[in-house]
Structure formats: structure tokens, C-alpha cells
Structure 1
Amino acid sequence: MRNRRIDLIRGISILLVLCHHFNIAYRLNDTSLSRAFGWEAVRAVVRNGNYGVTMFFVVSGYLITTNAKRRWSGLGNVDARAFYSLRIARIFPCLLLLLAAVNALAMARIAIFQNHLPAGAPDSLWLVDLASLTFWMNVLIGKHGWTNYSLGVLWSLSVEEVFYLSFPLLCLVLRREAGLLAFWFVLIVIGPIYRFSHQGDEGGYLYAYFACFDAIAIGCCTALVAGRIAWRGRARTALPLLAAAAMTFVYLYWPIRDGKVLGVTAMALGTAVLLVAAHDRPDGLSIRGARVAAVFEWFGRLSYELYLFHLIVLGLLRTIFAPSNVTGDAKLVLLTGYLLASAWLGASIARFYAEPLNRYVRQRLVPRCFSSEDGREERHQRNLAGSNTVE
């Protein structure tokens, strides 16, 4: 049950992250793009990739809450064992493959995949592996900086995993939606306050748990209220367009270090509006934008694999083509190759490794939940079809 509009949001988000990381490695200031549009305009597009992660957080909170509510007929009925098993099946195959690949490349003495503290002293690879598997990579980065080039992206997975660990427990303790909404509202308030109090600390305002939980909480609240919001007529089209325009302004106007307090909140709330517009509308965009949107949707379907493995591709490119030796439009050629290679790698991992293992682990860990879930999905589809017919 994929929602193409949500895949579109994720596709835009992951491409923002990929282009941001490429520009860090190969600064695009001397390319024909910069000459045509101006370096300031190009830099505005590629400098704020962390906002793409903010959008991911909102989508994650929304989907986890929506699927749990549907799967167990209410958040108070969440099966914690099944929930954790489903998360393990989705997350750990790719995570373990990433760790194996980076460790192998590091032991092959490829420098960029080895661990280094900002001062240059090597750090233990075992420590980074432990942080990756026990969900405090963001804490490690906050203390030591980007210790490992390819594994640094796991800071956001650490934030999400703590959310996953707490989600079923919160549902079972608070049970009622009103209590959950109140709890998540507190996190939404804490987020900008925490970022404000850590303005001079990048590890605090970018990577810390409380600097990111508000975006996830906004996604969770959106899942609970989306079905109760009825946009009719022009509002159904106008409000998402206004939200997208506001998000574009925030994204382009300030670097994230200047908009870290309320800019993150604004991007998260804008994403929430887009999710409300996409709620129970799994179809794609109108025919005029369908072809372009389909490309973003394809990237969105692979967003997890792309996010985890794109820095392996970029790290190898940096090893083969030293950034100091690449100038002008050669960077654009490398950017194209990087995006294509990342897409091929992500699609291959998803098709031949992640998806088969996901199905296998789900069936082994929660066979009864898996079969009953299929039945619920079928009934849910029939209910949707019936309601659509009535409307």
C-alpha cells in the first residue's frame, strides 16, 4: 500500500541530502550551473540537506503511527513484540550490510572509510560499530565530530531507533490518543527550545535527540488528526501549494545554521501539511507533472537504501578522483555518475537483498502477525473501495 505522494516527498528529501553531500566534497562554485544561475543560487539549493532529514523524520512519525493504528485497530492495542520484529526486519539487514562494507573497505586501507577524530588521531572502528548498533551515533558525532565518513549518516537512524524503541511502550502506557497527543506536543515545544539553548553547538542543534524529536512528534500528531481534517474545493490544492512555497522559501533563504531554531519547526510543519493532503490519496500527481514526479517517487521508494549507501559511492569517487584535481563541469559529470551509481546500488540492494530478507525475517519472527496483517490489509482495501464508491 504505497502512497505515491509520500514517495514524492521522500524522493525530494533524499535528493536534497545526496546533492548536499556531493557539494561538500566537490564544491560546485566553478561549474556552468554557477555561471548561469550564480553561485549563491546554486549554493542555496545544495547547502541545507539536513532539512531533507527533517522531512524524513516527519514522514517516519506519520507512517509509523498510521500503520500501527491501522494494523492493530488502535494505538492502545499495539503488539510490542510484533512491532519490534517488523522494525528489525526492515532496518537491520541494510544496517549490517553497511557496517560490513565499511569495515571491509577500512581494513583494505582505503583512508576515507577509516575512523578519524577531527584532530587526526584514529578512533576505534569497534566503537563506531557499537554506536551504530546501539543507536548513539548522534551522541558520538556530537562529542567527536564526523568520526567515520560513511557511517556518519547513521546519526539520524539513531534518533529514529530511539523513537521506535519508545513508541509501542508509550502506546501501551498512555493508551488513549489524547494522552499521546499531549506527550508529543511537549516534545514539539521542547525541540526549538533545545535548539535555541545549543545554538553554538552543531552536535546539539543538529544531531541531538531532543533537537530532532519534535519533527517526529509532528509526524505522529499529523497521523492522528489527518483523517479528521476535511479540505474541500480549492483548499485541497491551495493549502499544500502554499505549504510547499513556504518550505521552499525557508530552505533557500537561510542556511540551516541561521534557521536552526524555528526553521526546522517550519519545515516539519510544512511537511505535515503535505502529509495531510496526501492522506488517503495514494494516487500520483496530475498528468502534467506525472513524468517528473515519477522520477522523484522512484527515488523515494529507495530512500532508505540510498541514504545508507550513497556515501560509499561518494567515498570511492573521492578516493579515485581527488576533489582538488576536479574542476569546472567535470564536477557535473561526476555528480551525474554519482547519482546514477547510487541509484543503481540502492535499487540492487533493495531488490536482491533488503526486500527478500525483510519478507523472510517478518515471516520467521512474527508469522501470525504477518498472516493476520495480510488479512487486515485485504479488508482495509475493501473498506477503502467501498467508501470511495459511496463518495
Structure 2
Amino acid sequence: MSTGHRNPRIDLIRGISILLVLLHHFNIAYRLNDTPLAQLISWDAVRAVVRNGNYGVTMFFVISGYLITSNANRRWPDFARMDLRGFYVLRIARIVPCLLLLLGVADILALSGIAIFQNHAPQGTLVSLWVVNLASLTFWMNVLIGLYGWVNYPLGVLWSLSVEEVFYLTFPLLCVLLRRPSRLIAFWAVIIVVGPLYRAAHQGDEGDFLYSYFACFDGIAIGCCTALLAGKRPMPLLASWPVQILTLILMAFLYLSYPISETNILGVTVMALGTALLLIGAHHGHGEVSQGRAGAGLRWFGRHSYELYLLHLLFLGAMRSILVPHAVGGAEKLLLLSAFLLLSAAFSHVIARFYAEPLNFFLRRLLWRPARAGESSVPTEEPASCWWARGPH
């Protein structure tokens, strides 16, 4: 969405989600158990914050389903007449530039001989770089991880993008096939029920109960249903501050109390439903969010969450190659954490402003064609912050 169309509350939720993911990955690399912070408030308290980054991804899935559905419904109120080509152009323009950048940099670093960026064989089978790149580009990195483990450090984040890309591939087809919002809601309701059942049936395999398609699709489906239901009728009770605050408290309790390995069966569903309630609050209370400094940092992280998510392991991998984790002391880890967050944020901002957004804008201009007479030849959600764009979009 352009700056003028952004919902600051959704950016805030995304900012929290990406920060949880970044903290989780940093703790995996540099365990924070011996830091002054852990000594001050206890390691158990710190670990409770940093161990469940996968719930941050669950929140991303819900937001993705919500935004894709609400934006599509605004552009094509009649789902049966959705412009398939137009939908795919929008997704390609947003996703592919950063994805190709990640693959290119990771491959160059791997071929340069830097060990952490090369493929590994955690389960005894070495997978070629060609296969990893193919899985990244054809939506089955999560399947590859389930089969062979975390074979490539910086490209491991693409497991969740593979889940979302399959959703992007099927979403417009479902809309055209099912035609009516009520049928779509019924279909997604089945997916919502299947999610916890699938996770319960695959508890012995982390690759299945956390990373496979049906272990994650229920979060996306909850987001899709939320968009249609929130757009259909006002929900003042669910959007009220008491309900919103209670939702945050319950989500925080679930997040902090148990590791996701113990709670994923229904925990993922509960966290997704909580995110949906927050999105209903964002939908009906867009103007109530303060534009002050209190949440500005988190909103900034939310606006750059895609670039941050895709590229942050490049920085963390470089840090691990230069500063071996077991040789870094506790106080130094906190300094490294600050440097990691700042460098990742700065790099993501540069990539978004001078690479991803300009290419997003350019590809939409180049590939978009009006599906019907009178339809604008340019999508409305263009990146308004493109540094080279001139005039109204």
C-alpha cells in the first residue's frame, strides 16, 4: 500500500511481529542466557520473549490473508470477474525483486567460500545449491526443509514465503471458481478446521507441524475471512478498546507462557484469531491510532517488514562468520543485538527505497493492462515513496 493508504495500526502489528522474529533468530545464533539482561530479570523471562518467533510468522500469515482479500475486494467487488493477470502482476512486482536479490547475494557468498552461506547436510544428505534455488523460486522451500532440514542458513526464511506464494497462486482462482464471498468463507472455514487437526497428527515432526502448508494455511484463511466479515458489517464490540486490550493480554500470555512446540496445535489458531481481532480493531479504528513517537519505531519496522524478513539473515550470517558466537561474551551480545537490528533496518530501508519500491512501481507500470474498459491502467496501491517517481500516482 502507498503511504497514504497505510493503516498505522496494521503497521504496528507487523512491526511487533517482525521484531519477535528478529529476536528469535538472534537468540538462536547468540544465546542470550549470559547477558546482563538475563541476569537482571532472569533467563527464563528473556527466553520467554525470544523463543516463540514462529508465532510472529503466524501473525504475518493472518495479516497477509487480510490485506490480500481486502485489497482484492476493493479492486474487484465482483470476485467472479477478478482479473487474474492483474492480481499476479501485483504479487510478482512486490515479491520477486527482493527474492531475486536475496538469492543472488546468498549464492555469491556461498560460491565465495563463506561456510555459513553454503549448503549443509543436517540430516546427512547434501542438497545442491541448484535445488535450493529451485525450491525458493517454485514455492516448496518448506517441503525441502521438512525433508532435509535447514540446508541453507540465509534462505531458510523462504519456507514461509513458499506458504504465502501458494496462497497467492490459488487465491484468485478460488475467487473466480467460488464466485461469492459466502462460498469463500465456507471454504476457508474448512481450512481453519483442518489446521489444528493436521498439526495434531504430525506432532512428531517439526517440519510438518510448523512449516508445512496445511500447518499454516489456517492462519491465512482466518485473515481472509476477517477481511470479508469486517468489510461487510460494523463490529463495534470487537473493535472496542476493552476487547482489543483483553486480546493483547491473552496473546501475550500464550506467547510468554509456553514454547510453541508445546502449544502449536491450538496455539497457532488462538494466536491467529487474536491477530484477527486486532485487525478488526484496525479496520474500524483507523483514525484512532496516534501518529506520535510512541509507536513510530514499531510502525517503521512494520512498513519494512518484508525486506527485513527476507534479508536479515544475511547480516546475522556475516556476524556469525566474523564473531564466532561461543567467543562472544554476554555484554557484547547486547551490543551485537543492537548493531544487528540497526544494520538490518538501515539496509532494508535502502533496499526498499532505492531498489524494491522503484522496481515494484516500474513492473506494475510495465505489466499492468486494464481488464475492462474504463478500468485504470495503473493499480491504486502503488509505492508512493519511490525516490524517482514524479507527479501523482
Identify the TM-score tier after normalising by the shorter chain: over 0.9
Name the structure 1 match of 2:100.
96
Report the CA distance between 1:74 and its aligned residue. 3.0
In structure 2, relative to structure 1, the CA distance for the partners of 1:252 and 1:173 (3 Å cut) is: same
Question: Structure 1 residues 99 and 181 mapped into 2: Cα distance closer, same or farther (>3 Å)?
Answer: same
Residues 42-53 of structure 1 aligned to structure 2 (within 5 Å): 42-53=46-57
Contact 1:5 1:283 in 2 (8 A): no
The CA deviation at 1:10 is 0.4
Tell me if structure 2 keeps the 8 A contact 1:2–1:282: no
Partner residue of 2:265 out of 261, 268, 274? 261
Q: What's 1:311 paired with?
A: 313
Question: CA 1:128–1:306 in structure 2 vs 1: closer, same or farther (change >3 Å)?
Answer: same
Return the offset for 1:227: 2.8
The aligned amino acid for 2:177 is V
Does the CA-based 8 Å contact 1:4-1:284 persist in structure 2? no
What is the distance in 2 between the residues matched to 1:294 and 1:224? Answer: 29
Q: Which residue type is aligned with residue 265 of structure 2?
A: V
Residue 354 of structure 1: aligned partner:
356
* Equivalence for 2:329: 327
- Distance, in Å, in 2 between the alignment partners of 1:375 and 1:137 is 30
List gaps (5 residues or longer) in structure 1: 379-391
The count of corresponding residues between Structure 1 and Structure 2 is 376
Q: Is the 8 A contact 1:226 1:276 kept in 2?
A: yes
- 1:377–1:192: structure 2 CA closer, same or farther, 3 Å change rule? closer
Q: 1:326 and 1:204 mapped to 2: Cα distance?
A: 34
- Partners of 1:280 and 1:239 lie apart in 2 by 13
Residues 280 and 239 (structure 1), Cα distance of their counterparts in 2 relative to 1, 3 Å cut: closer
Measured after TM superposition, the shift of residue 120 of structure 1 is 5.6
Compared with structure 1, are the counterparts of its residues 375 and 19 closer, same or farther at alpha carbon in structure 2 (3 Å cutoff)?
closer
Query: 1:155-304 maps to which residues of 2 (within 5 A)?
Result: 155-232=159-236, 236-283=240-287, 285-286=289-290, 290-304=292-306
The AA in structure 1 aligned to 2:262 is D
Give the aligned CA root-mean-square deviation in angstroms. Answer: 1.9
> CA, structure 1 residues 375+100, in 2 after alignment: closer, same or farther (shift >3 Å)?
closer
Shift of 1:180: 0.3
The equivalent position to 1:41 in structure 2, one of 42, 45, 61, is 45
Q: Give me the whole-angstrom Cα distance separating, in 2, the residues matched to 1:236 and 1:105.
A: 50
SS, match of residue 354 in structure 2: helix
Q: Give 1:37's aligned amino acid.
A: I
The one-letter code matched in structure 2 to 1:311 is L
Q: Which amino acid aligns with 2:10?
A: I
Whichever residue aligns with residue 321 of structure 1, its letter is L
Identity across the alignment (%)? 62
Deviation of 1:236 after TM superposition, in Å, equals 1.1
* Match of residue 84 from structure 2: 80
Match of 1:116 in 2: 120
SS at match of 2:295: helix
One-letter amino acid of the structure 2 residue matched with residue 8 of structure 1: L
Q: Distance in 2 between matches of 1:193 and 1:208?
A: 13
What is the aligned partner in structure 1 of residue 391 from structure 2?
none
Residue 110 (structure 2) pairs with residue 106 (structure 1)? yes
Give unpaired runs (5+ residues) of structure 2: 383-393
CA deviations over 1:205-258 (Å, ceiling 9, x no partner): 010000000000000000011134534489611111111111001100110000
Distance in 1 between residues matched to 2:98 and 2:239, nearest whole Å: 40
1:190 match: secondary structure: helix
Change (3 A) 1:144 1:377: closer
TM-score by length of 1: 0.93
Tell me how far apart the structure 2 counterparts of residues 284 and 114 of structure 1 sit (CA, whole Å): 47
Q: CA deviation at 1:117?
A: 1.3
d(CA) in 2 for partners of 1:328 and 1:59? 35
Counterpart pick for 2:63 among 59, 62, 71? 59
Report the Cα distance in structure 1 between the residues aligned to 2:29 and 2:380, rounded to whole angstroms: 47
**Is contact 2:188-2:225 (8 Å) kept?**
yes
Instruction: Provide the C-alpha distance between the structure 1 equivalents of 2:140 and 2:238, rounded to a whole number of angstroms.
Output: 45
Alignment of 1:363 onto 2:365: yes
User: Are 2:7 and 1:3 equivalent residues in the alignment?
Assistant: yes
Structure 2 residue matching 1:227: 3-state secondary structure: helix
Cα gap change, 1:135 to 1:375, in 2 (>3 Å): closer
Counterpart of 1:26 in structure 2 is 30
